[in-house]
Amino acid sequence: MKRCTDLVSLLADFVERKLPPEVHGRLERHLSACPRCVAQLKTYQSTLSLLRSIKEEDLPPELRCTLKAFLDRHCGN
Ligand SMILES: [Zn+2]
């Protein structure tokens, strides 16, 4: 089993369902046994839905920066 830090970098693709089925399954099994990663996943998902529900230009610049930094940190680029 991979370490949590390795898996966290896969969460973005996991949410978008871009992972190969066997990797997706492995991550799902890890999530069923690891509350810490589930918490990460939930944070990521709620951030994504927040971003989808608001227009970027409606955000105060400060918050826009925070969200972008959050996403950059979690998309592994
Ligand atoms: Zn974990």
The predicted-structure confidence for 3-48, as pLDDT tens digits, reads as follows 888 888 888 889 889 999 999 999 999 999 999 999 989 998 888 8
Distance from the alpha carbon of residue 64 to the mean position of ligand 1, in angstroms? 28
CA separation for the pair 29, 32 (Å, rounded): 5
The vertex-24 CA angle with 23 and 27, nearest 5°, equals 85
The predicted pLDDT at position 2 comes to 61
Distance from the alpha carbon of residue 31 to the mean position of ligand 1, in angstroms? 6
Q: Does the structure show a pLDDT above 60 at 77?
A: no
Distance from the alpha carbon of residue 9 to the mean position of ligand 1, in angstroms? 11
Distance from the alpha carbon of residue 30 to the mean position of ligand 1, in angstroms? 6
Tokens of 64: 């826009």
